[in-house]
Amino acid sequence: NESVRGKIVYLVQSTCNPVNESLMELLVAIDAVKRSSPQEIVCIMPYYGYCRQDRKAAPRQPISARLVADLLTTAGADRVVCSDLHASQIQGFFNVPLDDVSAMPIFYKYLQEKNLDNVVCVSPDHGGVVRTSKLAEKLNAPIAIIDKRRPKPNQAELMAIVGDVKDKNCIIVDDIVDTAGTLCLAANKLHELGAKSVYAVISHAILSKDAVQKIQNSALDELIVTDSIPLAPEKKIDKIKVLELAPLFATIIAALEEGKSFSETLDKFAKEYYK
């Protein structure tokens, strides 16, 4: 009921399950605000729905991530802020600024408090090496890589693990956990190869189908996720630890309000968490 004329309006909404409902709700909210004469509309989207469909992997497939970008900008969004996009090239789908911020400082702080020694960071596939290397650099740890094949969506075949994991505390690093098939296969394989413990830090917890049951029955010691996707009560188990993204996005909103450099603000935020 308040006027937003001439103001910067922040709409906070993850486009997660039910993804179509939450996306449509966000689009309608953007349109309502746009027609109320704001100075700027900023969409804070901790999780970007349809982010995995960022290219044509087979004939006659849509590029849904691009479609969502077009919908947001057509509705009237002037800026979009996301957390740990599945693919960096999604930024190129937008004609307005899109900022992709990493939750790694929040993960790092939590892991630091565990005082784990003899750590190795594990990438679940070749494409995740860059993401894994960032955490490994902060932890001063080596990396290992899981060589896997994906014959069809949401199905994976684990082929081999490149790197030394025996008697190590393994930390699997990824951006999305959906059915948890790959994650549990990897955790069990690492355990078989002599890993002391297996943790996973994953930004977005979709946890569809029987994912929670798989995690509960796997060799995984703990799955650490963010609250970018709210967990249903039945998915809250002892093995899953949820960390809040609020401090990260509060820092970003403050930087936008004060007209400060994003990179400098995020660097400062990271240093405070990396102490």
- 3-state SS class at 170: strand
For the question of residue 148 being annotated catalytic, the response is yes
Contact (CB, 8 A) for 10 and 253: yes
190: number of Cβ within 10 Å: 25
Q: Which is nearest to 168 in space by CA: 145, 141, 146?
A: 141
Cβ neighbors of 30 (< 8 A, separation 6 or more) are 11, 41, 43, 72, 75, 76, 77
Contact (CB, 8 A) for 77 and 30: yes
Total residues belonging to the chain = 275
Catalytic residue among 148, 168, 189, 214: 148
**Paired tokens of 50:** 């349809």
What residues are labeled active site? 148
